[in-house]
Structure 1
């Protein structure tokens, strides 16, 4: 089959060329090959070249990409140019997991019937992938999509499109969070009967907090606040318990001052909470105003996830969540908890547990446990780490040595000078703990305090409401709380939660959700491959897509897979990307 040119002449002798698609057929009678016209394209000077391009593109789709490429490049190999190369491995893997979790399906369904850009789902995926691969501002993310990566279905975007997509993400967050939880529990077959909860804070480089806004019991702005009331308001030292009670809390800005977990009390902040499975998969994230205390946040988390759970859920939390109200709420509906108890809280229960005699049982590695029964409905487990005890004792000796050097010879000083020194030491909590002042105003080392502290070396105390868990399971379950702390560390470093390039509350909340989705995909990769994301990302980003342009058109082809890349894809159950990623006609000429 070929294109034949037939020439005719007008009366004035000028030639006119006609193009025909012909096919040679064998004539057995004459024993010759005769051309058969299949289609006439008409006069060459009146040819619809755009229609020809569409026909060629349509026929090319019927061929194997390699065969089609060979045919098109053969005609225009002389003008073929290698124009660019972009990393594609990271986005391919993250996109496959994104689709496996059904996030694209949820977003596409929620987009149906809305007057929004149909590429909004692709834009949100690009923002999530950007956090995992090359975190930056949303303006930088748009430039990253346009010039530095290849994302299927999104050749380019803009920072305005990114901001519009973030606004919509906050609207669909409840539906999205619920779908992610179910997919983690069912599709990925991760256990969600044990959920770990913890909070952190992130600060902003601004001097002034946000203006006060009336909020509901979940810390959300109230459009039409009720009259101000103080009845039922729950406040604690250092902030407002905005997640407790039945009445709206007093007005507070979203970015406001509070007790910073980054040691930046001088800057406004927001508080972020996260629930994580025992495998380290984050299933939900929350945001609260910066002065919200930890005491009631777990109650809101429990309430928000009440209808999601597949079975009875055991909540695991740190010492900041051990209030009586929290423990009562977590036991509602048959739930249970493992919560750390402050050793130095002065509570009668903690003192009674620590004073009980008994042998420790070796559990695993350097962990020993001892169960103490004090109340009928609660169990106390004392955990002891001999190595940590040695470190605690060594650190205490260093602090006592420093304190001794400070107060040595102070008996000869005046009462005023000793009072000044005592004031300076009071600003050093580690040293001030072991300082004792005699009735006569002399400074001494508190030996009773040293003995009391030595009794706590290497120990931590746990409360548990489940009557069936063994002391070993309680201790090991609490130890897994490190998964949440690791999540905070990775979110603040690898995914660069901070700095937050937003000042509007809704944009900040959407930014946190994007970081959570990125951490979710990263954790799935790590738990499946048993390797770190930093190492996997380095291997994946060596897989590139090269762009070639020429008279015959444009095509994109990936580089060959390395052994490491093939192993990663195999472990994750992801098919390798096609070798020929894209074929296109040549750019239109004006």
Structure 2
């Protein structure tokens, strides 16, 4: 045995030799209790096994090698295809047992393979369905990982598989939730619910989902479609739903409550019903009452400005509230718990939010006063004097700056005829000081009475998980824009993005378990240089050899594959294709 550098004292060598001899013979050692001997033996055996393994690999290579004389000047390569991201996505597709889930839904082997291709395409190269078809044919090695040959698939099949998956949406989402609960065990205590919308790439006049509404991406120039999503406290999807772009958010809650999917394995969930956490866009008095009547625990910030009821309490934040040191974005958060009906209310002030809102308010107020000053100057110069016209200008100012204009009294001084405006004056209301006091303030209402104020606030901040899900679906998974002209195809497009998100969240959570905080987009970019190619060589008999082979993973690739426990299942393929004339 090659022991390498031996630091053990010479007086221990005989004992070490006996220990190694015992291990090689498969016998128990007399010196196992001596930690120094055991440590030195472990190191020696590790080196021994490494040398043995390398020797066996070398012998195997010699036995399997094919030796031919080749013309080095003839070496070239072609058909380079992306492999790295696809290996990871394919591995997690199999861990989620999606083929079995789709088989249980009645999909054939070819449909299962096509579904995998389309969903992984959305994850690896997010784009339109047409672009996914081109990617599948010309850019990816994914087709080599599939059990069914899809190399010559027509583009209509890409659209049709989305329709097939959409028809099984509820069964697929429920099965995925159960499988994710098995892979990533956790007692689910929260359901986080929110909605987002995105815009269409055209007018979509025949698409009943394409509606004008308030765009969360500031795209008021385009019709919209809305995605509702429920996730747990770690970001794993529970249920999704698709609505028109003008959907009222509070009106979606009754239907969502009917479709909550609890895993069939009850031990995977907390014994009590999960608490429903919602953004203030959904939390009206009516929706809160609905949660109460259905017996759901809840935690919300109500849509109306409840903080106005607690001005006196917020004036004493620094002396009566409990501080929570958060982060550089939120700054310090101050909280105070108060009893409310059968639950609690927690008054919150975020210094980070306060600074942000004050900056926004200051900018709006500055622009409002500038526009108001320009109107005063126009009236003074006589450029505009008719009371009707001046009133219209004032109304437009109030529409443009509603949050600021409501705190100012604007008075129009009229001449004796009561038809012309002579001057425009304004004054600040007392409510402006009240607004300043409440800047950065909000009130969390919950059915929980026993939780501390800090615990309630931390539960509410988990809503960032659903916001993060929306960011991934929109940015990383090609949800926007939507180009489909039909309702069914639009729903299919969005559902494909949701399925891709299931893969994405599983990949990212696996990395987090390994203390790696990288996002999927970073991992995908790092793996993009791991490819599969065809090497072309000509031998001394003028035979042309094609060798299909995966490139050797670089150190960055190997590290990611190690963390995710992913291996390349593709074998080297060799064939003689022709003879050079």
3-state SS, counterpart of residue 129 of structure 1: helix
Q: Residue in 2 aligned with 1:352? A: 309
Q: Residue in 1 aligned with 2:504? A: 522
3-state SS, counterpart of residue 510 of structure 2: helix
Structure 1 residues 205 and 163: CA distance shift in structure 2, 3 A: closer
Deviation at 1:120, TM superposition (A): 1.5
Q: Residue in 2 aligned with 1:583? A: 573
Structure 1 residues 334 and 141: CA distance shift in structure 2, 3 A: same
- In structure 1, which of residues 270, 284, 289 is the aligned counterpart of residue 225 of structure 2? 270
Deviation at 1:474, TM superposition (A): 1.7
Deviation at 1:127, TM superposition (A): 1.4
Bigger drift between 533-542 and 90-99 goes to 533-542
Q: Residue in 2 aligned with 1:10? A: none
Contact 1:400 1:434 in 2 (8 A): no
- In structure 2, which of residues 524, 532, 542 is the aligned counterpart of residue 537 of structure 1? 524
Structure 1 residues 426 and 80: CA distance shift in structure 2, 3 A: same
Q: Using the alignment, how far apart are the partners of 2:112 and 2:290 within structure 1? A: 37
Deviation at 1:448, TM superposition (A): 1.3
Q: Residue in 1 aligned with 2:302? A: 341
Q: Deviations over 1:39-84 (max 9, x none)?
A: xxxxxxxxxxxxxxxxxxxxxxxxx99679733x638889875332
Contact 1:106 1:176 in 2 (8 A): yes
3-state SS, counterpart of residue 469 of structure 1: coil
3-state SS, counterpart of residue 133 of structure 2: helix
3-state SS, counterpart of residue 534 of structure 1: helix
Q: Deviations over 1:416-441 (max 9, x none)?
A: 26424313312322542333124857
Q: Using the alignment, how far apart are the partners of 2:294 and 2:400 within structure 1? A: 45
Q: Residue in 2 aligned with 1:237? A: none
Q: Deviations over 1:230-276 (max 9, x none)?
A: xxxxxxxxxxxxxxxxxxxxxxx222233332333443222111112
Instruction: Report the RMSD for the aligned CA atoms in angstroms.
Output: 3.0
Q: Residue in 2 aligned with 1:231? A: none
Matched, 1:124 2:126: no
- In structure 2, which of residues 428, 431, 448 is the aligned counterpart of residue 446 of structure 1? 428
Q: Using the alignment, how far apart are the partners of 2:396 and 2:157 within structure 1? A: 55
Q: Residue in 1 aligned with 2:171? A: 175
Structure 1 residues 364 and 183: CA distance shift in structure 2, 3 A: farther
Contact 1:209 1:268 in 2 (8 A): no
Deviation at 1:121, TM superposition (A): 1.4
Contact 1:294 1:320 in 2 (8 A): yes
Q: Deviations over 1:514-544 (max 9, x none)?
A: 1112222222222332112222111111111
Bigger drift between 356-365 and 564-573 goes to 356-365
Q: Using the alignment, how far apart are the partners of 2:495 and 2:64 within structure 1? A: 42
Deviation at 1:391, TM superposition (A): 3.4
Q: Using the alignment, how far apart are the partners of 1:262 and 1:164 within structure 2? A: 29
Deviation at 1:95, TM superposition (A): 0.8
Q: Deviations over 1:140-180 (max 9, x none)?
A: 21221222111102451331221221121112211110011
Q: Using the alignment, how far apart are the partners of 1:67 and 1:549 within structure 2? A: 22
3-state SS, counterpart of residue 478 of structure 1: helix
Matched, 1:187 2:183: yes
3-state SS, counterpart of residue 373 of structure 1: strand
Contact 1:313 1:336 in 2 (8 A): yes
Q: Residue in 1 aligned with 2:68? A: 74
Matched, 1:257 2:212: yes
Q: Residue in 1 aligned with 2:237? A: 282
Q: Residue in 1 aligned with 2:274? A: 313
- In structure 2, which of residues 473, 481, 487 is the aligned counterpart of residue 499 of structure 1? 481
- In structure 2, which of residues 372, 383, 388 is the aligned counterpart of residue 407 of structure 1? 372
Paired positions, count: 474
Q: Using the alignment, how far apart are the partners of 1:266 and 1:497 within structure 2? A: 18
Q: Using the alignment, how far apart are the partners of 1:124 and 1:548 within structure 2? A: 30
Q: Using the alignment, how far apart are the partners of 1:131 and 1:67 within structure 2? A: 42
Contact 2:408 2:429 in 1 (8 A): no
Deviation at 1:512, TM superposition (A): 0.8
- In structure 2, which of residues 552, 561, 564 is the aligned counterpart of residue 560 of structure 1? 552
Alignment TM-score, normalising by the size of structure 1 = 0.73
- Which stretches in structure 2 are left out of the alignment for 5+ residues? 1-58, 415-423, 512-516, 538-542
Bigger relative contact order (CA 8 A; separation at least 6): 2
- Which stretches in structure 1 are left out of the alignment for 5+ residues? 1-63, 212-252
Contact 1:271 1:287 in 2 (8 A): yes
- In structure 1, which of residues 86, 90, 96 is the aligned counterpart of residue 85 of structure 2? 90
Structure 1 residues 390 and 504: CA distance shift in structure 2, 3 A: closer
Deviation at 1:318, TM superposition (A): 0.7
> Which protein is richer in helix relative to its size?
2
Q: Residue in 2 aligned with 1:380? A: 345
Alignment TM-score, normalising by the size of structure 2 = 0.74
- In structure 2, which of residues 515, 534, 540 is the aligned counterpart of residue 547 of structure 1? 534
Q: Using the alignment, how far apart are the partners of 1:86 and 1:120 within structure 2? A: 23
Structure 1 residues 428 and 587: CA distance shift in structure 2, 3 A: same
Q: Residue in 2 aligned with 1:301? A: 256
Contact 1:525 1:533 in 2 (8 A): yes
Q: Using the alignment, how far apart are the partners of 2:99 and 2:456 within structure 1? A: 38
Deviation at 1:126, TM superposition (A): 1.5
Q: Using the alignment, how far apart are the partners of 1:468 and 1:554 within structure 2? A: 70
Q: Using the alignment, how far apart are the partners of 2:293 and 2:69 within structure 1? A: 74
Q: Residue in 2 aligned with 1:397? A: 362
Q: Write the mapping of 1:320-335 to structure 2, written as runs, cut at 5 A.
A: 320-331=281-292, 334-335=295-296
Q: Using the alignment, how far apart are the partners of 2:549 and 2:372 within structure 1? A: 74
3-state SS, counterpart of residue 319 of structure 1: coil
Structure 1 residues 581 and 434: CA distance shift in structure 2, 3 A: farther
Contact 1:338 1:465 in 2 (8 A): yes
Deviation at 1:582, TM superposition (A): 4.2
Structure 1 residues 553 and 191: CA distance shift in structure 2, 3 A: farther
3-state SS, counterpart of residue 474 of structure 1: helix
Contact 2:81 2:533 in 1 (8 A): yes
Matched, 1:419 2:411: no
